[in-house]
Amino acid sequence: MSTPLLKIEGLGHVYGARRGLFGTSPAFRALTGIDISIARGESFGLVGESGSGKTTLTRNILGLERPSEGHVLFDGHPVIDLGRGGERRLRRRMQIVFQDPQASLDPRMTIHDTIAEALVVHGPDLGIARSGYTRRVLDLLEAVGLGREHLYRHPHEFSGGQRQRINIARALAVEPELLILDEPTSALDVSVQADILNLLQRLQKELGLTYFFISHDLGVIRYTCDRVAVIERGRIVEQGPVAEIFDTPSQEYTRKLMDAIPDPDPDLSPLRRLG
């Protein structure tokens, strides 16, 4: 059996007591006993409400925080205590696309410089010389549906959907194996959301990417993912194939999340029935 690309074993995270302006806040357990295994090429979803632990788990996966218990393994190796060279290699293999496409871009930088910035650090590992940066940036823009005319524009000149395409291109610049998608469509209009989700599916097929898709929206997870884990108050309450979790959820919490999915037929909406 092949090694999972990402494996999380017994992960727990406790934030210690903190002293603030209005006194000392007690220690807080954000995660408990998280076990997740993601195969290469898979699209895995994590769904839960705000405050359920999704952000803390993401920070542990990226090695930005040290778990209190358990391990995060990427391609069989821990994501912490890698040393400077090891951290740089991990950053290249694991990238993230954030929720807010505007806040993710420096308004002072052109799109060319935004995407090429990663190549300054990782270009030598990819065999890309400085003279090839512009060609690489252009190829990436074309891959996400943009073009040469966008190279030297600034973020404010783009729509929200275009800015998220730029963020995706930037994440792909260093040829990652795992893409963490942190609510990548929640700040976009519904019609634009569909375009971005279709783009992500196409890129996954073309590039063989593995996705860790984080969302509070089960509708998005159902459309994009092979398997899903449901997190509540820092614990995984159930996980499995998307069809199984959606058709026969075992937990009341999951059923409540599913009930919150808008019905495509307005006549069947619970809001309409209330009238």
Q: Quick one: pLDDT band at residue 272, thresholds 50, 70, 90? A: very low
What would the mean pLDDT of 103-119 be, rounded to a whole number?
94
Cα 76 from Cα 71, distance rounded (Å)? 11
| The pLDDT of residue 263 | 59
Cα 78 from Cα 7, distance rounded (Å)? 9
CA atoms within 13 A on the CB side of 111: 30
Statement: residue 125 has pLDDT above 60: yes
CATH number of 42-52+83-263: 3.40.50.300
| Alpha-carbon 55 to chain mean position | 10
Q: Quick one: pLDDT band at residue 1, thresholds 50, 70, 90? A: low
Question: How many beta carbons lie within 10 A of that of residue 265, not counting itself?
Answer: 8
Structure tokens at 267: 């006549």
What would the mean pLDDT of 228-248 be, rounded to a whole number?
94
Structure tokens at 23: 């006194």
What would the mean pLDDT of 215-233 be, rounded to a whole number?
90
Cα 126 from Cα 153, distance rounded (Å)? 26
What would the mean pLDDT of 63-74 be, rounded to a whole number?
94
Beta bridge mates, 20? 23
Classify residue 22 by burial, with Cβ atoms within 10 Å: 0-12, 13-18, 19+: exposed
Statement: residue 17 has pLDDT above 90: no
| Alpha-carbon 197 to chain mean position | 12
Amino acid at 214: I
| The pLDDT of residue 255 | 86
| The pLDDT of residue 261 | 67
Lowest-pLDDT choice from 28-32, 33-37, 71-75, 87-91:
87-91
What would the mean pLDDT of 156-172 be, rounded to a whole number?
96
pLDDT tens digits, residue range 138-154? 999 999 999 999 999 99
Where are the chain's structural domains? 42-52+83-263
Cα 168 from Cα 178, distance rounded (Å)? 12
Mean pLDDT for the chain overall: 89
Within 8 A by CB and 6+ apart from 157, the residues are none
| The pLDDT of residue 269 | 43
| The pLDDT of residue 275 | 42
Selected residue with higher pLDDT from 17 and 274 = 17
| The pLDDT of residue 91 | 86
Beta strand segments in the chain, E: 6-15, 18-20, 23-25, 28-38, 43-47, 69-74, 77-78, 94-97, 178-182, 210-215, 227-232, 235-241
Q: Quick one: pLDDT band at residue 215, thresholds 50, 70, 90? A: confident
What would the mean pLDDT of 50-66 be, rounded to a whole number?
93
Statement: residue 169 has pLDDT above 80: yes
Statement: residue 92 has pLDDT above 60: yes
HEC string of 2-32? CCCCEEEEEEEEEECCEEECCEEECCEEEEE
Statement: residue 256 has pLDDT above 90: no
Torsion sign across C-alpha atoms 183, 125, 64, 40: positive
